[in-house]
Amino acid sequence: MADASRITYVLIDGENIDATLGTSILGRRPRPEERPRWERLLQFAQELWGQPVVGLFFLAANNELPMPFVQALLAIGYRPVPLSGAAGEKVVDIAIQRTLVEIRSRRADVLLVSNDGDFVDQVEDLLDGRRVGVVGFQEFRSGAFLELTAHGLATFDLEYDVQAFRESLPRIRIIAIDDFDPADFL
């Protein structure tokens, strides 16, 4: 039974997921229908640990607010966190790192949606008995996160576990023999 006083924070590094999807998986800018269905992530988080979810979507706004995207995020239940800073400043990374540090003082669990190893230290600090997970693309996830699985970090794939996409992505992955279906290749 879930602790009614706990919540799950879902922190999304939108730039990292978008860059991985576009550059590493598709080899081009994703079309709108190829982007994750972010509402599925909130539902996944709610079902995963059976407690209320607060979704924070971090984005670099660079002094220009992408209103259609912000409105879409609000409509599906996220709190957009638009950020700006000096040229070359990784504002999304800085904000997520600060947020992870702040969460240590709260009764909360965390799902970080990023493949970026820049958050490993803050994620490790949260492995103090609370539930912590990283969601991303397993083949592009920082190897430093894998080391934390021995300390309780859960890992989830945005496509395979969360099922955040309408269509299968053109990914190559290692397949457990029990999951192998030759029809997928014929």
- Bridge partners of residue 136, in order along the sequence: 157
Q: Cite the DSSP H helix spans in 50-178.
A: 67-76, 91-103, 120-126, 143-148
Q: 90-119: per-residue pLDDT in tens?
A: 999 999 999 999 999 999 999 999 999 999
Query: Shortest CA distance to 116 belongs to which of 91, 144, 89?
Result: 144
Fill in the amino acid letter for 99.
T
Structure token digits, residue 87: 């040229």
Looking at domain 7-184, its CATH superfamily turns out to be 5'-nuclease (3.40.50.1010)
Q: 38-75: per-residue pLDDT in tens?
A: 999 999 999 999 999 999 999 998 878 889 999 999 99
Q: 121-144: per-residue pLDDT in tens?
A: 999 999 999 999 999 999 999 999
d(CA 152, CA 125) in angstroms, rounded, equals 12
Describe the strand order of the beta sheet including 7-13 as a list of residue ranges: 78-83, 53-60, 7-13, 108-113, 132-136, 154-157
d(CA 161, CA 155) in angstroms, rounded, equals 9
